[in-house]
Amino acid sequence: MKYHTPVLLQEVIDTFDPQANDIFIDCTVGNGGHSLELTQHGSVVYGLDQDPTNLQIATDRINSPLFIPINKNFNQLNEVISQIDKPIKGILFDLGLSSNQLLSQNRGFSFNDNQSLDMRLDPDTQELTAEEIINTYHYEELCEIFTLYAQETYSKPLSIRIIKERQKKPIKDGERLANIIRDYYQSKHIRTTIDPSTKIFMALRIVVNNEIENLKNTLKLTLNPKLSGTTIAIISFHSGEDRIVKQFIKANFPNAPKAILPTTLEIRNNPLSRSAVLRSYRIS
């Protein structure tokens, strides 16, 4: 299979300086790109992912006793920290979704998914789906989600369209939802550089997986006294996420290093990296 390309990989390695027997927690294993590199430096990695499918892909790929897979939401970080009785050198968060999740059929994340509008990272432990939001939420609730989480300019008319369409027949897959959004943009001759449904899909994914609250709560968990000397590195991919990370660092670690952005070469080779921002801080 084609694995997700890890973003800012060398910059993460430079930030952590991994050595043999160092201990890291990768809170967002994905396809294991960053974890693999850390284990190749001889470091031990406790790897968390809420999505059991991705965790299995990474475990098979890394195939090393240095990698310890844990199927957990990173908001349970304290439980993992309490099980580790040695100093933890670094903790990584590479937020969002991996390319295989974004492209997969039957998960509901993709504009081309004609089978599902689910969007749960872990269907075994989560209840709310994007399908439920799209088919049952009131106009005001849809508008709020689209505006708050994606700054969608056309939240109101799009919510009206979605409600009209769902009255004809429930909206049960990503492709149909994407077409409703695209049709609106086309009918108004609004041009976009990316697919017009990108923002709405992102907003739904954020709500289904409670991404903003998870991030806020987990950043606070890194203030754990057991993490004295640990470097925390966070890669975010949209302005809402980055603002939360930036404000947290400003309030707690005013001398933290400057944010690192991908080079033009990385963006050319991997367009998914274009909005990435790496921020780090060291717990004193």
Residues that bind ligand SAM (CB under 6 A): 4, 6, 28, 30-34, 48-51, 54, 73-74, 94, 96-98, 121, 214
Minimum CB distance to ligand SAM smaller for 115 or for 126: 126
Nearest approach, Cβ of residue 18 and ligand SAM (Å) = 15
Amino acid of residue 130: A
Q: Return the number of other C-beta atoms located less than 10 Å from residue 19's C-beta.
A: 10
* Least distance (Å) between residue 280 CB and ligand SAM: 15
**Closest CB to ligand SAM among residues 29, 158:** 29
Nearest to 222 by CA among 77, 110, 60, 41: 77
User: Of 103 and 160, which CB lies nearer to ligand SAM in the complex structure?
Assistant: 103
Q: Are 170 and 177 in contact (CB under 8 A)?
A: no
Q: Tokens 């970080």, residue?
A: 77
Do 84 and 23 meet the contact criterion of CB atoms below 8 Å apart?
yes
CB-wise, 94 or 242, nearer to ligand SAM? 94
CB of 161 to ligand SAM, least distance (A): 29
- Say which residues have a Cβ less than 8 Å from residue 71's Cβ, sequence separation at least 6: 48, 49, 50, 52, 55, 122
CA distance 125 to 196: 31
Minimum gap (Å) between residue 242 Cβ and ligand SAM: 14
